[in-house]
Structure 1
Amino acid sequence: MARSGAGKSAGRAALVGVLSALSLVFLYASALVPTGQMGVVAVAGLLVAAAVVSGGLSAGFLCYGATGLLGLLLLPDKANALLYLLFFGLWPILKSLIERLRRIILEWVCKLGVFNAVLTLFWFSLRAVLLPFLPGALHQIGMVYLAGNAAFVIYDVGCSKLIAFYAGRIDKVLRKAG
């Protein structure tokens, strides 16, 4: 039996709520784990990608905004909430928009431009906080950009593979069930 438009909208809203709640759980967990905090924040951002795939850009923005706002209000470690707001939560939405260009070279120029702008913001505003945690070789700005860009490319390719898996396996099942 086909669901009405209102039923589909309610289902999408519920899914966005669940994804936002899960994203917030991962953000909160990032404040509790002793190591790998950035990785846990990245996982929280992947749930925004799921919202974009399942509900579109508006659902992604809703998931990102709700999680980011609640993260700022509820997390004991506001730095992780800022990392989510400034990069990991926003990236799936920007990635979706950039990949609509359908020109791989232009896409990578835009992706690397966005990443380097965020890295520059972090470097100049949080250098005093970040330097004690970075290996000695990464205290030089050139090494930070080189290592950061390499890590970003790996992250983006991995993110693309996880999004494809979600779209092909999980979202497909959710659409059939709904």
Structure 2
Amino acid sequence: MGRGAQTRRLAAGAVLTALSLAVLFGSCYLPTGRMGLVAAAGLLPAAAVISAGGIKAGLLCYGASGLLALLLLPDKGNALLYLLFFGLYPMVKSAAERLAHQWQRWLGKLAFFYGMLSVLWFLAGEVLTPFLPAALDSTPLVYGVGTAVFVVYDYGFTKLIGFYMARVHRYLFR
């Protein structure tokens, strides 16, 4: 890879990190779109995986924006959601999608989801609780509904990655 391509990838990673942090800041000031904006910030490490050099670039984008979010965001709950799930999931998904069988992919993704949901539910419940409706006050219900929401999220995430590859990455990185 030439020096110009390396520079372009490094710059793309830095821009994606800054955009991720900007979206996380927006999640603190738009309370009705809080969860959606934290999830949207998680799309940017996925773009780093695609455009800036693989899982390592995605982890760097995730780590830098997550650390800066913990230091700078007024709402640390948003930073925690990003660090524990939405920012890390693009790399987990990328690794899981490389597995040979569909059931292995889903097993890996669901294991990650249940692990992070458990951490959020049992160790940081006050972070997750404000996002949930009052009807979801039991643990089995949270896991059941959470699984359905996660499957829809994963499907939508896959579609957004496809859109990014077809409409953005293709034109920026020829």
Does the TM-score normalized on the shorter chain lie above 0.5? yes
Q: Which string of whole-angstrom CA distances, capped at 9 and with x for unpartnered residues, describes residues 101-160 of structure 1?
A: 031111111111110111111111123454465333210111100111111100011000
The verdict on how the C-alpha distance between 1:101 and 1:118 changes in structure 2, with shifts beyond 3 A counting, is same
CA contact (8 A) 2:77 2:127 kept: no
| Counterpart Cα distance in 1 of 2:126 and 2:60 | 33
Q: Does 2:134 match 1:136?
A: yes
SS of aligned partner of 1:137: coil
User: In the alignment, what sits opposite 1:172?
Assistant: 170
SS of aligned partner of 1:48: helix
* Paired letter, 2:30: V
* Paired letter, 1:65: G
User: In the alignment, what sits opposite 1:121?
Assistant: 119
| Counterpart Cα distance in 2 of 1:44 and 1:128 | 21
Q: 1:34 deviation in Å?
A: 1.8
| Counterpart Cα distance in 2 of 1:39 and 1:127 | 19
| Counterpart Cα distance in 1 of 2:88 and 2:121 | 18
**Identity of counterpart residues, as a percentage?**
54
Q: What is the aligned residue count? A: 173
| Counterpart Cα distance in 2 of 1:138 and 1:24 | 30
Q: Does 2:20 match 1:26?
A: no
The verdict on how the C-alpha distance between 1:95 and 1:34 changes in structure 2, with shifts beyond 3 A counting, is same
CA-based RMSD: 1.4
Q: Does 2:42 match 1:45?
A: yes
SS of aligned partner of 2:22: helix
* Paired letter, 1:135: P
The verdict on how the C-alpha distance between 1:70 and 1:128 changes in structure 2, with shifts beyond 3 A counting, is closer
SS of aligned partner of 2:124: helix
Task: List gaps (5 residues or longer) in structure 2.
Answer: none
* Paired letter, 1:114: F
User: In the alignment, what sits opposite 1:82?
Assistant: 80
User: In the alignment, what sits opposite 1:150?
Assistant: 148
User: In the alignment, what sits opposite 1:106?
Assistant: 104
* Paired letter, 1:9: Q
User: In the alignment, what sits opposite 1:163?
Assistant: 161
The verdict on how the C-alpha distance between 1:132 and 1:50 changes in structure 2, with shifts beyond 3 A counting, is closer
Larger radius of gyration: 1
Among candidates 57, 73, 85, match of residue 59 of structure 1: 57
Q: Which string of whole-angstrom CA distances, capped at 9 and with x for unpartnered residues, describes residues 34-69 of structure 1?
A: 212111000000011000011211111111111011
User: In the alignment, what sits opposite 1:11?
Assistant: 8
* Paired letter, 1:144: V
SS of aligned partner of 2:31: coil
